[in-house]
Each structure stands twice: as structure tokens, then as C-alpha cells.
Structure 1
């Protein structure tokens, strides 16, 4: 059985599904796998920066991902399979080989200035965390926000990174004009579970403090309990909502665990290592909630699941929302009528 690496979620580095050959970690001279794997930064200059979404399961049409891959190392991350498109593994590569989108802010400005651009809210953090540890150094997310401020463009952020409080100046200013909202992802209140489940993400108390700071600054903030994992963190549903509401969250949502493509085997490997006594029970409940399979990608089902166990989770969630005065996932309508392309050097001024 593979052993966990300090600060990493995945236990292995399986070949991506497109690779014609397979590579594995080689033991060092003493016969042991290295205890740590350093993060590799890969620079990319994107041709486009705004992604469009047509899925009815997510509440946004446009998104920006400042990075590819995520150093947080969450073992359950549904975005892991996307690393295969870059000839990298959805396993350890996903959390150790991070693609940084250089020039993202300049590209965003070009796209917002396009003659036929139509303003719709943009979500940062759809397929990666915009406030993962590398953001402290790279500041790509900060630069993107600075562009959005100048254009008065509405945006929302999904993150489990406490670094978001660094940008309170921008977030508070935009919130005053109904131009931004934030969802903080909370998976557990247990620091030990967090350490193995999402090793480089901010701790539970730090995230609750971020909710408090955002709320105090007037930023509409909600909590996203994601993912809910049977027999791992589902018992914490009510306590997470209670603590988040006390910290200042206005709304809440949840997502039932998804296991697309390579995530299925990576998650099962994690279960066998950290919770061997309940691994099969966990997988059985997942299959019961996924139409007999370990993943169900059908629209309308993939975020919530179906069956007795999934419905019980949904009922508990609804009761807890009412008890703690929370609204269903942040439904604030962000304004688009304030969007304006600012003048730039070389623009021809109107004679009227």
C-alpha cells in the first residue's frame, strides 16, 4: 500500500488516461520514497482567459482559473482529471506541478474590451483555487481583481484559502456596489481530518475567521459544504452550518462527493490508507447514491446524488438552513449595469 507524503493528498501518481507510457516514483538510495515533493511552477501564457459554461448544475456562465492544478492537494478534487490534458498525472502531479497563467490580467483586459463582449458575472475558482499557496507569491488573482475593479465588472469567488482576506480592500469596495460575492468552502471542523483530506488548505478555524472578516467588511459571504462524504464528514453537516452562520455567513450550499475518472481510484487509495476499516462502507453508500455506480455525471444528479442516503442528507441540510437562518446558496443578484470600458492611452475622444 502507498504511504502518504507530508503535505500532499494523493498517495500515488497514476499515468494519465492519454499517456502511451507509465512512470512511477523511484525509491531513493535507502529504499524509501522521498518524504516530500517540492512544488514545480510551470508558466503558461493563455490565449484566452474567460471560460464559458453551459452546465445547468452550476450557477454561473463565465469563469476564470488563474492556475491549472492546485497545491491544496484535496484528494477529492473533481478537477484532477483535467491535468491529463497537459500530459500530467491527476495524482501527485495535480498538486505539485502547478501551471501559472502569466499575463492573465492583460488577457482579461483585452477580452473585456472586445467590441462584442457582453457583461455577465465571472466566477473565480471554478476548476482551481484562486487563493492556493502560490498566489501569495504570484499574485495572479490579485491582478485579475484589479482589472475587474477598473471595469466595474461583477464577480464571485469560491475558495478555501484564507489569503482572500488580503484582498479585502477590493472586495469591500466592489461589495458596496453589489459587484461581488464570496463562497468559502468548508469540508470539516476537524483539523486532523483536514490534514489528510486537504493538506495544504487553510485550517477550519482560519476559514471561519475569513468568513467573519469578509462579513464584517460588508462582503456577501456564504459557506459551501463540499464535498459531503458518507461516513467521513457527513456527520458534521449541522455543526459546519452552525459555526459558519455564527461567523457571519448569509447562505449555504452543499455538494455530494463526485468521483469522476481517475479521482475514483485516487480516493479509494486514500480511504484504504487512512480509513481501512470503513472504506468499503463508504464506497457502498456512494454507490447507493450514484445509481449503483461510483460516479454519476448526469446533469441534475451529479451534485446531489439520489436514493435514501442522499435524500436524508438533503433533508438535514434544509432543516439546518432554517434553524440557523441561512439562505440557500448565495443568490445575490450581482449588477451588470455598472460595467464600463475605461479609456486607455491612444483612445480617440468624442467631439460631442
Structure 2
């Protein structure tokens, strides 16, 4: 790739520097200067829009051997945090939208999710298994303040005594401490806060609308003080950008009460490869080729490795070194010494019509 020739631009408060077509698009759109506007005229800002999605079901099931939970639930499509590395970006292509700026500005909400969840839990065939919130997009992204869908989902799960896990990078989760503390008393919830870097300037470019790393550490502390087990997800690890911070992130999280942790190596599926490379050329042109070269070394010569067992950690010498560093830091600090098992025996099947059972 010719890094010097790439055309890119930065929209304030947005992550993607490129508005590319998804792989299912049949047409290609390109902005041109038709001579009628001033050369230095700025484009209008990208506004966030939210469209209601009428889903038929909300619990997704998968059989991936390298994921701890087989049931997931996403209240939203797209994510306003705008993280340039988000592996969910290509999913916007299924909606005939761009994995670039569309993913972080044209969002979809599922207001019927709590009702649909209740109906699915009430089915005679349903067997309780922990549900993961935040597997695709952040359940506490900024629009949750207005829509409150995640809050309503938690209310259903708390009423049914259903176990769940949450992954987020938002301090908005503190709003729901009342429900989370209630669930935690019976071993029904596990939370992970994602911390990619402690460098505030880098975080603003990587995750432009997410809260600062410092605020995430405060959220870890407040959740644990409230009795809600909250660990840290060091993700994604990006060669030459964030990999040197791994031990510092773990130390800071431990100091704020985290006792469980995991990490993942940067993944670049489908269109995300081009989006991330353009972002690198825009913000870190001198490091761009080094980052991609090292990533290919850790991905068996490819820019992305979709294989189970290696897609989260990579392979080769540098991946082994990263894994060893992580293990040594965890051993030194005392992470992952007690594995939390979410309790599935307390589940109470709800009444399908939203009424509480008499007995």
C-alpha cells in the first residue's frame, strides 16, 4: 500500500476517516468537485440518526469454541463510540450501509428487545444459559441514555434471576448499579470494562466518543465497591500503538479493584482492513507500515486470521511473547485466581404476557 497517496479526512468526533462501500453494495459513490462550490468549503457535520428496528427475536446463539458464552443479545446496531478497530463494523454492510462513518452515525435501536426477550425466556423449550450483552456493539453507548433499552433488558433478567455478562467501555453502566448489585448478590452477573490504552490522546483518536481511560478505571472501582465483580478487558492489543501498555493497563485496573482479565489481538475482518489502514495513514503515517507488518507476522502472513483458536491471540513468535507477558503480569498481580461461575440454577421462567407468576 502506498501510504503517501491515500486520500483521507478527519470528521471531528468520529473514528473512521473513510466512507467506503460494504462488500454487498452494487454501486460505488465518490465525492467530486463539480466547480460550483468553493475549494475550501467544509462538508456538513455527520449527525447521529437512530432508526427503530423491529426484530423478530433478540437472543443469538452460536457455537464458537473460543467464546465463553453461547448466548448473546445486542440492543443496538452500529455504535456511536466510533472505535476504529471495531470488528463489528462490517456488519453494517448487511444493511446496505458503510462500515465507515455510517456505522457510527446511522444507528439502529431495538425498543421491543425487552418484550421479545421475555417471550423467548418464557418458551417451554428455553434452557437457561448466561447471556452476553455487548458482544457486537456497546450496550451502554451514548444513545442508551435516551433509549434505556439495556436498562429494560436488565430489569427482565433481574426479575427472572437470569445470569449475564456485560462488556462495555462506558461509565454509563454505573446508572444501573442498583440492578447489577442485586444480580451480583446471587452470582448472576460478571462485568468487563474494556481499556485499550491509558494514553488519553491516543484514546481520543482510537475511540473518539468513548469515555476517557481514567473514567473507565473509576467505573471498575465503583462497580467492585458496590459488590459487582468487574474485570478489565485489554482489547484490542495493537502492535506498536498499544502493546507496550499491557502491563500498565493491568496494574492500573488491579489498583482499581479488577481481579479478572483477558486480552485480544487486533482483528481486521473484511472492510475493516481498509478502514484501519486509512486511519493509520491519517494519524500515524510514520508507524503505519510497521504496525501492519508486525500484525501480518502475528497473523500467519495475513492481515486477518478468522480461524478459531488463533483469531483472538494470533500465532508466531510475537504472539507467543505477548501471551507470555500477559501471563506473567497476571501471575505477578494476582489476576484470574478465582474463576467466577455464573449461577443458572436460580432462573425463574417468566410469564409470557409480562405478568409475574403467582407461585
TM-score calculated relative to the size of structure 2 = 0.94
Q: How many residues align?
A: 349
Q: CA deviation at 1:12?
A: 1.3
* Match in the other structure for 1:301: 310
* Match in the other structure for 1:327: 336
* Match in the other structure for 1:67: 76
* Of 2, 13, 37, the match for 1:7: 13
Deviation by residue 1:227-271 (Cα, 9 ceiling, x = unmatched): 000000001000000000000001110000101000000000000
* Of 242, 248, 253, the match for 2:257: 248
Q: Report the secondary structure of 1:195's partner residue.
A: helix
Q: Report the secondary structure of 1:146's partner residue.
A: helix
Sort the Cα spacing of 1:118 and 1:279 in 2 relative to 1 into closer, same or farther, 3 A.
Answer: same
Sort the Cα spacing of 1:347 and 1:193 in 2 relative to 1 into closer, same or farther, 3 A.
Answer: closer
* Match in the other structure for 1:148: 157
* Match in the other structure for 2:139: 130
* Match in the other structure for 1:44: 53
* Match in the other structure for 2:347: 339
* Match in the other structure for 2:299: 290
Q: CA deviation at 1:4?
A: 1.0
Q: In the alignment, is the contact (CA less than 8 A) between 2:14 and 2:208 conserved in 1?
A: yes
* Residues 1-352 of structure 1: pairs in structure 2 closer than 5 A: 1-24=7-30, 29-31=37-39, 32-34=41-43, 36-327=45-336, 331-343=339-351
Sort the Cα spacing of 1:246 and 1:88 in 2 relative to 1 into closer, same or farther, 3 A.
Answer: same
Q: Report the secondary structure of 1:255's partner residue.
A: strand
Sort the Cα spacing of 1:266 and 1:307 in 2 relative to 1 into closer, same or farther, 3 A.
Answer: same
State the alpha-carbon separation in 1 of the partners of residues 100 and 25 from structure 2: 14
Q: Report the secondary structure of 1:42's partner residue.
A: strand
State the alpha-carbon separation in 2 of the partners of residues 345 and 183 from structure 1: 30
Q: In the alignment, is the contact (CA less than 8 A) between 2:168 and 2:193 conserved in 1?
A: yes
Q: In the alignment, is the contact (CA less than 8 A) between 1:46 and 1:102 conserved in 2?
A: no
Q: CA deviation at 1:26?
A: 6.6
Q: CA deviation at 1:36?
A: 2.6
Q: CA deviation at 1:40?
A: 1.0
Q: Report the secondary structure of 2:108's partner residue.
A: strand
Cα-Cα RMSD: 1.7
Q: Report the secondary structure of 1:306's partner residue.
A: coil
> Is there any run of 5+ residues in structure 2 with no aligned partner, and where?
1-6
> Is there any run of 5+ residues in structure 1 with no aligned partner, and where?
none
Q: In the alignment, is the contact (CA less than 8 A) between 2:350 and 2:356 conserved in 1?
A: no
State the alpha-carbon separation in 2 of the partners of residues 26 and 156 from structure 1: 47
Sort the Cα spacing of 1:311 and 1:210 in 2 relative to 1 into closer, same or farther, 3 A.
Answer: same
Q: CA deviation at 1:348?
A: 9.3
Sort the Cα spacing of 1:65 and 1:345 in 2 relative to 1 into closer, same or farther, 3 A.
Answer: closer
Q: CA deviation at 1:102?
A: 1.8
Q: In the alignment, is the contact (CA less than 8 A) between 1:25 and 1:33 conserved in 2?
A: no
Q: In the alignment, is the contact (CA less than 8 A) between 1:5 and 1:35 conserved in 2?
A: no
